[in-house]
Structures are given as structure tokens and as C-alpha cells.
Amino acid sequence: DKQLSQLKLKFGENVLAETNAFEMHLTNEDDIAGLPDGAKEAAQQLAESKGKTGWLITLDYPSYIPFMTYADNRELRKKLAIASGAKAFKGDQLDNQDHVLQIAKRRHERAKLLGYNTHAHFVLEERMAKTPETVEAFLNELLNKAKLAAKSEFDDLESFAKELDGIDNLEKWDSAYYSEKLKQKLFNLDDEQLKPYFKLSNVIDGVFTIAERLYDLKFEEIATIDKYHEDVMTYKVTDTKGNLVSIFYADFFPRPGKRNGAWMTVYKAQYIKNGHNDRPHISIVCNFTKPTKSKPSLLTFNEVTTLFHEFGHALHGMLANTTYPSLSGTSVFWDFVELPSQVLENWCYEKEALELFAKHYETGEVIPMELIEKIKASATFHEGMQTLRQISFGLLDMAWHGQDPSEISDVKTHESKAFANTKLYPDVPENCMSTSFSHIFQGGYSSGYYSYKWAEVLDADAFEYFLEQGVFNKEVATKFKDHVLSQGGIEDPMTLYKRFRGKEPRPDALLKRAGLLAK
């Protein structure tokens, strides 16, 4: 465990150092052709902050994603994509290949010492799935249902890119760019159309209002709480009687030294001792575009769902009501922990919810109904490819942890074998995912990455219940609060879920929502 702690720490430090080290400095305006004004302005401000002229593009998501999605210059997209995929895979002092091998081997050794076949057997004993065989059967069942759809979507995208720009072979750095172009063509919808309706402060108010309507919570911003950075916002959360429910922290913007991505964390768990219910301190961290000189922070729709996702985790922590801190809030089986987060994302697609917060930042106009319809219609766009991508990550995780890794000597070769059944794009020799796959080598998702798809089955089934009764139905919300959100890990998750839903979940709800049943 000591060795693993040190290896995981070093793995994460290397990924962060690699992310921070890369900068693409552009001085020719042609190189940023296609980028939305907001992304150009942010890149210009970043360059200015470092005493440079022109524009600066980095591997931080608010910089990386817009460039990969909109930049017309294919060579620069290639350069950026390869830099991102080559993190900690260059054979230098920041290389993680040996750390990956050592982490996998130490985990296996520990599992054997404890009497388990593999690390996955050890981990999954305390998961809903229980065994690696169940996980692999689940992933392969989804793979069989999604693969045809994914291949069809990929072929359509390739034909579209060829027709539009004469691209003969679609590469990974073409994916987001042509997907966005095709989405605009099919649905007449793009993120830049939507962003003015998703001002960050409005989205925050919206998610608070939804939590109030579902779970009777009130959020009040307060300035009397210590915080680790001036960007962090702090709130006091109370119930309808004014009782303290939680302290809530929100940290939304990138800065040097802060890692990429989004997550929820608990500073102080809820517990009951000597008759006193000690309330939790909960935080969410994201990396959204900072306000610029001319615009407030405007979110892409994907960032809106990210905020809702992390806030769903936060509700799980805030509404905790158990005796022991070790079983409180999100201290549940890891393939159950994503249910509260993923289920809340569904409200982002509902008219009743969107009208609460999706208002134009300049005019105050509520998002037009036609845009809501387009958001819903495009929700399953490229769902086959997205599903295949998530399955590939789950299979890679199991390839590292569901077998004896002592004979594995080459990280890239092993990874390529794991990806063989889910591969759509040509391989990029300079790239390797494992060396920066922080979820499984630094975070807590080893043998658990399948949880995202597993929880999607739960969330689709759970939200179907809300849809049947009404998205703000108090009775269903109270059941979810009483039987899921407040209960932490005090009982088997399936017992809790059946108490809420009245039955076990079925994958059909997910496949139906994803548009994969008909294909």
C-alpha cells in the first residue's frame, strides 16, 4: 500500500506536469480560423497573461476542446491531439509506462496476498457487479448492441468528411471537428448558438432551484467561510425550516497547478454522534471557461451537463443521514455512486427545468422551444460511438486489473489488444491512453470504470419513473431522497434501489434512451 501510494502520486504528478508543460503559441490569425469569438478571446487573454502576443492554446479542457471542435487547421488539430495523447508517454523523466506496470503488478500482488485471483476480484467483491465475469459480460452485451450503430455512425462521419473536405482517412483529430459540423448540418444546432443561454451564474441558480423543488433545499452564498482560493464560492445549505443541511463549496475555473476534469469531494462527512447530527462540508470542482473582458462565463451544453453531474454527487453528500461517516453520502459501492450524478443530468434536457435557468445573458430571453427540441433531438447523436468509447475504457481497465499482469512488458501493446474490438479510428503510434488514465491509475476507478455504463442503466431506469409521474413530482423525489440519497452505504445498493423503484432496473430503458434498441 505504501508503494502504491507513492506510485499513484508520482503518476498524477507526471500527468499534471505534462499538461502544464505544453503550450501551442499561435501568431498567425489564419491558424485560429473557425474558432468561436469567445475561444479566441480566452486564448488571447492567456497569451497576454504570459507576456506573449497572439493566442495560446493549452491542454486544459476549456482551451483544448474548442480548438479540437472548431479549428479549421487540420495540422494544428493533429499537433494538439498528439500532444494530449502522448502525455507521460515520451520515454523521458515524466514517462508513466513503468508506473503503470508497477501499479498493476503491486495491485495484483496485494490481491494474491489477500486470497483473491486478481485485483478485480478483490475490488468487485464490494460492488454491485460482484465478479470480473459479470463486468465483462455486461460490457460485451453493450458492445454487441452498440457496435453496429457505432460503425454506421463512423461510416457516415467519414463519408461526410470526404464530401465536405476530401478527407480520405478520418483520424482521431478529425472526430470532434467533423462531428460538430455534421451535428450542425443535421440539427442546425451548435454549441455557440446555445452558450449565450447558459451563463454560469444562471446555471448555478438553476441547479439550486431544481434542488429546492425536488428536495426542499435553500442555498445562500456566504463570505464567512475559509477557502483555499479566491475563485471558490461558498454556500450555506438549509432545509425549509432553516436547519443547516450542509456547507457547499464550488470551484469552477482552471488555474496553474489545478488538474483537469471535474469532480466532487467531501471535506467533512455527515455523521451522528451523541444524538447530534453533524452536517457535511461538500465541494465540487470543474474547469469552465473564465469570464473574459467582454463576456461572462458561458457554458457549452456539455459543460452544463457536467455541472449537473457533479452537483448530483454533491446532493448525495449533502443529504446524507447516517450514523457512521464511513457509510455516509457517497461512501457507497462504486458502481452505485454514479446514479445520483447521472440521474440529475436528465433535467438538462427537460423544458420545465431549462426554462428556470436557460436565459440569454444579454436579453434575459428564455431559451426558445425550438432550441430545446433540437437539444433533445441531438441528445442521441453519435450515441453508438460514445457508448463504444466508454466500453473501450472499461475493457482497458479490466485488461489491466482482471488478469495476472506479471507477464506484461509493453504498455502500448497491451493497450492495443484491449482496444482491438472497439477500435474505429487508426492507431496513433505516439499516443497511449494508459499513461494518463488517471481515473484508474491515480483515482479510485481501478476495476470500476464500467460503473459509468452500469450507473447509466440505473439512471435511465430511475428517470423513467420521474417521466411517468412528472419531472418535479414530489412523491418520486422524496422516495429518491429517502431511499437513495440519504442512505449512503448502509444497505446493499440493489435493496435501496428496489425500495425506491419497486423493481430491479432493466437495460432496456438505457438502450431506448440512447436510440440503440431500434438499430
Catalytic sites, residue numbers: 310
Nearest to 1 by CA among 74, 107, 134: 107
* Number of helices and strands in the chain (H, E): 21, 9
The residue assigned the cell 428564455 is 366
**Which residues 6+ apart lie within 8 Å of 167 measured at CB?**
158, 161, 174, 178
Going by their DSSP bridges, the two strands 276-278 and 271-273 should be labelled as: antiparallel
Using CA atoms, how far apart are residues 426 and 171, in angstroms rounded to an integer?
6
241 torsion bin: left (phi>0), alpha (psi -120 to 50), beta (else): alpha
Count how many residues are written for the chain.
519
Q: DSSP labels for 319-378?
A: T---S-GGGSTT-S-TTTTHHHHHHHHGGGG-HHHHHHH-B-TTT-PBPPHHHHHHHHHH
How far apart CA 112 and CA 364 sit, in angstroms, is 61
Q: Are 447 and 132 in contact (CB under 8 A)?
A: yes
CA nearest to 311, candidates 279, 274, 285, 336: 285
Rounded CA separation 186/378 (Å):
9
Q: Residue 440's closest CA among 428, 448, 432?
A: 448
Provide the b/e sequence for 199-230 (b: ≥16 CB within 10 Å): bbebbbebbbebbebbbbbebeeeeeeeeeee
SS (H, E, C) 242-270: CCEEEEEEEECCCCCCCCCCCEEEEEECC
- Residue for grid cell 433535467: 347
392-419 as b/e: b if 16+ CB within 10 A: bbbbbbbbbbbbebeebeebbebbeebb
